[in-house]
Amino acid sequence: MIKPSGRFFFFFIIFFFVIFSSCQNERFKKRASSKTLFRLLDPKECGITFANRLTESDTDNAIFYEYYYNGAGLAVGDLDNDGLSDIVFGANMTECRVYLNKGGLKFADVTRQCGVNTAGKWITGVSLADVNNDGWLDIYLCAAGNIDYDYTNMLYISNGDPDNLFFTECAAAVGLADRGYSTQAVFFDYDRDGDLDMYLVTASMTIPNKNALRQRKNDGSMPNTDRLYRNEGINPLTNLPFFRNVSREAGITWDGFGLGVAVCDINKDGWPDIYVGNDYISNDLLYVNQKDGTFREMVQDYTKHITLSTMGLDIADFNNDGFVDLVLLDMQPENYYRKRTMALNMRDYKRYLSELNAGYSPQYIRNMIQVNNGNINGRITFSDIGQLAGIFETDWSWGTLFADFDNDGFKDLIIGNGIPHDVTNMDVSELWMKTIRANREIDFTVLYKLLKAEMDKLGNVKKPNMIFRNNGSLIFETKTREWGLGRPSYSTGMVFADLDNDGDLDLIMNNINDPAFVYENTLMSVDSLKSRNHFISLILRGDTKNTGGIGTKVTVYHDGRLQYHEHFPVRGFQSMVDSKIHFGVGTSESIDSIIVCWPDEKVQKLRNVPSDQFIEVRYIDAKPDRIFENKTGNPSLFIQVPEKNGIKYIHRERQFIDFDIQPLVPHQYSKEGPGIAVGDINSDGLDDFFIGGSTSYSGMVFIQGNNSVFTSYPLPGENNYEDMGALLFDADGDGDNDLYVVSGGAGLPPGIEFYNDRLYINNGKGGFIMDRNALPDERVCGSHVAAADFDRDGDLDLFVCGRVSLENYPLPPRSFLLRNDSKGSQIRFTDVTGALAPELERPGLLASALWTDFNNDGWPDLIIAGEWMPVMFFVNVQGKLRNITGSTGLDKYTGWWNSIAAGDFDRDGDMDYAVGNLGLNTQYKVSPAEPMRIMARDFDLNGTIDPVCSYYVQGKSYPIYHRNVLLSQIPSLRNRYNTYEAYARATLDDIFPEDTRKGAYIKECTWFASSWIENLGNGAFRMHSLPEEAQLSPVFGMLAGDYNNDGNCDLILTGNSYSSNVYTGQYDASIGLFLSGDGKGGFKPVLGRESGFFVDGDAKSLAEISLKDGNSFILAARNSDTLRVFKPLAKPAGIIRLGKDDFCAEIILKNGTREYREFYYGSGYLSQSSRVLKLPPEAASVTVMTFTGEKRIITMK
């Protein structure tokens, strides 16, 4: 009885059969229009007729060989040294082909006469390298296949005769006849001894249940461990180099199912490192070179998450900042039907946590662009911006390459696509399971035939290869059809090369069951000479043992910007690109300089180089000059404060899964702390701070000493609560600061006493005692608290934000306007919301609030922010708060707002506002025409609220959930949607017809950009998006102020959220950001490697504390992580310490200009900063006004 392989277990066994359809779409038979950038050449026209054809049988198919449809790669290089790029195609069931370039985009098949014979081999990856150092490229072919194939790798050594080119197979002679089910080989000099070594990516199919959760193996014992072969030099008996397997001694010991690989100097220390993309659950691997012949695996040190089933990958500097970036491919479809029928998307949150606990990285099914953040405080990290970039869902993707196809100076991105059938269909998988359970002794050949009929009903996944134009920002523009790549295919291997030496990059693709694609780039055609972009192309002539200069780094400077390239041509998927190094340089007719750094760090510098030429760069002309060292950036604005200052705190969170209570919430609410409150706790004139804890972990009080060193102690008796926002203020009027702490977290039963907020009364020396009678019995899961004397009676009142009721999500919980009615020692706060501000009782799922005088009448108004709502404005009409949001012009900007900070960003004399939102690096793209919606009611009449989130995909609204998730909440839908296909074809309107929505609570989001709000005066406002760099993650922490002493109001941002469901994935791209204000409403991003500000992780509250010497610390809290502390390097000219009743100030500068400031009890997200006025150097006088309207004038000396 024939048994299948084990690829198909991912919570359950997945079966698939793929059938090739030979029907061609007639509309793509015609040659691409000459007006497109690329023109598809007819196979007969160019001479390349090769097709990687597969002939499926009962025993030779994707059941018995799991990588049956992974296809083959190809490699481009000048095999006959005539200056033209030749092509070697890998093949699976047919034989590989070698094509020599005859010029004019004409090719000749020389496979037979040149001696390359791959009969009986299933070839995967193709590499070219001068293995024997004779100046001629040799061919290395990786082999795999099922048990019927000979999976010994092959090495063909060139005879070096251009007139009678011939290759001799020598893999065994040199020690490279590996039999490890290889995917791709990379030749490079890892030990910097001058010769080329080889890294071999493997994917052994002998391991069953490849997605089964198991401890990762790093002892080198697994058959699916990659190999590292060291070049031991020339063997005198063969006159060929000999390679030795040094994998274990070099630290290449982690297991995986390798598909993609690329080499780069990831940390810019001069030594090559290796990134391997692994399939299935196995982690990707980043082997960082330790400079002693060994590697250390560090993917979790450099990245925050990775793709689940990494296919192809590429490494290049796409954003021209001098640091290499990384693109990883997975299988996320753009089409909703395929999203909801794909088996790999069915992981639940508990399985996801189990993977993390077993040592795996967070892994998600989507493409990723990992942007290199550079060296910050000794650390190098990457941030995934694939969703912001717009490249995250390209379906079943294989090869990918960064390259400048339009010569504008920015690297574009191309992604190969397609597989002959929908191979992860859930309904077929379930049929497989049912059949096996019914007959465990079934012959799998019989089962194959049975399921083939079902799979025939499913359409193929023949997709156009996708190309994205880089416009010089972080967002790519889809150009697939406009550039002429609209023809569907099953393209696996893919390369670029300037085949006709005309200065632009052509494309070649290895297709399954179709002739290979050869696309001519028409950019440099004669009719475009007058308006074309320019180029420069380098041809490296290396040392005698590395004739191709593998590992060389090139930096090109032109028009005030740079481009950076590392020469490792094995890239993409199973393929190798042209060795000519191509740069588009836009309109530059001359290049300022080109710096070439060879692998041994010898350097050449070329200056004032005319564009539009091919330049040979020779190693013999280089000189010693170390210029590519990894240097930590010199921080210009902030330095991190060491723990020796006494500020040492780790926030801890007890494990609670919100999805167990409410499966349909888009993210969890139990992990949103901690908050920070700053103020003088022990009455010594110095500011101290409190940072919140969580259930089972008390919050901590930090007391500032005279030398800015802090001591700490826990807040007693509060570890039964989940702390959210906190506030230090004088509640009882005795002159010291008391402490208000909001209770939240969503992880407790509804109505429990531990949802009551707490007021701790200060004994004047920093000792706190809870007053259990001062506050109303709220029992609400809250978030933020802010104080102001809104009724101008001389004491501070409170607004407390209600966050969520998990069981009743998304119905708004109570929020509270608490009036301070304390008299003497009798402390009492009265809920006056219904009487004075009824629309504040349940305005939404609130995250932040700010008391601010937005209409300049001297009374503190209120702005609130939360989810599924606009930023709301309440004007203070002599102690009563009236909602004016509808007249502000901002009511249409509904989002998931998290935080509010105020500053006069345009220096026009009134307060503007920065507001943190979800950001744009998300799969949920919203607009007024296509919003994200929440619809809630008891749809199945079982007594519980069913909240259903929906979003638009290709013009139609669908639930955001997979079938299993929605049906777990509303089981009554199972009868209507008893298959995954039925569910996948149903829109939101189909699932919930209009009559079922009557009485439903409906809200929507139309705007996810973090923004700043311009105050236009007279109650009108205008929304502006913050720069792209501020949109990488949800923004929580916010500080506004002048941090570089240029007189303009800047912003400091922190964020991320690790609370999303597994399908959405954690938002973790932010590392903190400084935005330098220009005083006109513009902001310039200053990245962490330049500013020194670096806050990664699940960052939440952000506060500033003033120090005795006039400096300050920035406190950045992170959920389940350490507190980060930074010191701004720019010291203010002076500070004024404020009284407890001070509300705002007008500063008159020496030139007569007036500036306006406000002082807050609570701002940002769960945060309170020091109440001080920082003075600009040119300040002449200051007028300070209290909440009650009293003024005092301070004249500068």
pLDDT of residue 1179: 93
Q: What is the mean pLDDT of the chain?
A: 93
The domains spanning 40-418+462-521 and 534-624 adopt the same CATH topology: no
What's the pLDDT score for residue 18? 29
Neighbours of 703 (CB within 10 A): 19
Whether the pLDDT of residue 442 is over 90: the answer is no
Q: Quick check: 8 pLDDT over 70?
A: no
Per-residue pLDDT at 631:
57
- What integer is the mean pLDDT of 291-319? 98
Comparing 428 with 8, which gets the higher pLDDT?
428
Q: Average pLDDT for residues 820-845, to the nearest whole number? A: 96
The phi, psi pair for 983, rounded to 5°, reads: -65, -40
Please report the beta strands in 803-860, taking only residues with DSSP state E, as ranges in sequence order.
816-820, 829-831, 845-852
Distance CA 578, CA 85 (A): 7
For residue 582, pLDDT over 60 is answered with: yes
- 12-16, 124-128, 975-979: which is most confident: 124-128
- Supply the pLDDT for residue 432: 73
Answer whether residue 148 shows pLDDT above 90. Answer: no
Structure-token match 């049975």, residue found: 450
How many Cβ atoms from other residues are within 10 Å of residue 233's Cβ? 13
Residue 530 has pLDDT above 50, yes or no: no
Q: What is the pLDDT of residue 17?
A: 28
User: Quick check: 59 and 504 in contact, CB under 8 A?
Assistant: no
Residue 797 above 80 pLDDT?
A: yes
Indicate whether 627 pLDDT > 70: no
Q: Would you state the structure tokens that stand for residue 921, as one six-digit string?
A: 């690096």
CB 110 within 8 A of CB 163: no
Q: Quote the pLDDT of residue 6.
A: 38
211 compared with 863, residue with greater pLDDT: 863
Domain boundaries along the sequence of the chain: 40-418+462-521, 534-624, 638-926+1006-1195, 932-1004
User: What is the average per-residue pLDDT within 904-914?
Assistant: 97
Stretch 429-439: mean pLDDT: 77
Pairing label, strands 534-541, 614-618? parallel
Q: What are phi and psi of 938, to 5 degrees?
A: -85, 85
Q: Where are the alpha helices (DSSP H) in 61-202?
A: 111-114, 171-174
Output the pLDDT for position 756: 96
Class of domain 40-418+462-521 (CATH, top level):
mainly beta
Phi, psi of 1108 (to 5 degrees): -60, -35
Lowest mean pLDDT among 170-184, 450-464, 709-723, 853-867: 450-464
What whole-number percentage of the chain has pLDDT above 70? 95
CA–CA distance, 794 with 1190 (Å, rounded to integer): 11
pLDDT, mean of residues 226-230: 98
Domain 638-926+1006-1195 sits in CATH at: 2.130.10.10
- At 133, phi and psi to the nearest 5? 60, 35
Q: Alpha helix locations (H) across 396-486?
A: 426-438, 444-456
Using DSSP's 3-state secondary structure scheme, residue 1044 falls into coil
pLDDT confidence of 1032, banded at 50, 70, 90? very high
Reported as type and span, the H/E element at residue 761 is strand 758-762
Please tell me whether the overall predicted TM-score, pTM, comes out greater than 0.85 for this model: yes
**Whole-angstrom distance, CA of residue 257 vs CA of residue 381:** 24
User: What is the DSSP-derived secondary structure letter of residue 198?
Assistant: E
| Among 554, 534, 522, residue whose Cα is nearest residue 612 | 534
Position 34 scores a pLDDT of 54
Can you give the pLDDT at residue 435?
A: 79
In the predicted structure, residue 829 carries a pLDDT above the cut 70: yes
Is 632:375 a contact under the CB 8 Å cutoff? yes
Q: Residue 551: pLDDT above 80?
A: yes
Cβ-based burial of 1144 (10 A; exposed 0-12, middle 13-18, buried ≥19)? buried
pLDDT tens digit string along 933-958?
999 999 999 999 999 999 999 999 99
| CA contacts within 13 A on the Cβ side of 1183 | 9
The mean pLDDT value for 799-815 works out to 97
Mean pLDDT, range 447-455, rounded to an integer? 70
Exposed/middle/buried for 23, CB within 10 Å: 0-12, 13-18, 19+?
exposed
Cα dihedral value 611, 612, 613, 617, nearest 10? 50
Looking at the predicted structure, is the pLDDT value of residue 448 above 80? Answer: no
CA distance 1026 to 1075: 9
Indicate the CATH number for domain 534-624.
Answer: 2.60.40
Strands 363-364 and 306-307: parallel
Distance from first CA to last CA of the chain, Å, rounded? 96
Residue 189 has pLDDT above 60, yes or no: yes
pLDDT in tens, 495-521: 999 999 999 999 999 999 999 999 999
Q: Which two tokens stand for residue 1015?
A: 């105050």
Q: What is the CA radius of gyration of the chain?
A: 32
- The Cα 1176–Cα 1167 span in angstroms is 24
Tokens encoding 995: 């009559």
Confidence (pLDDT) at 28: 36
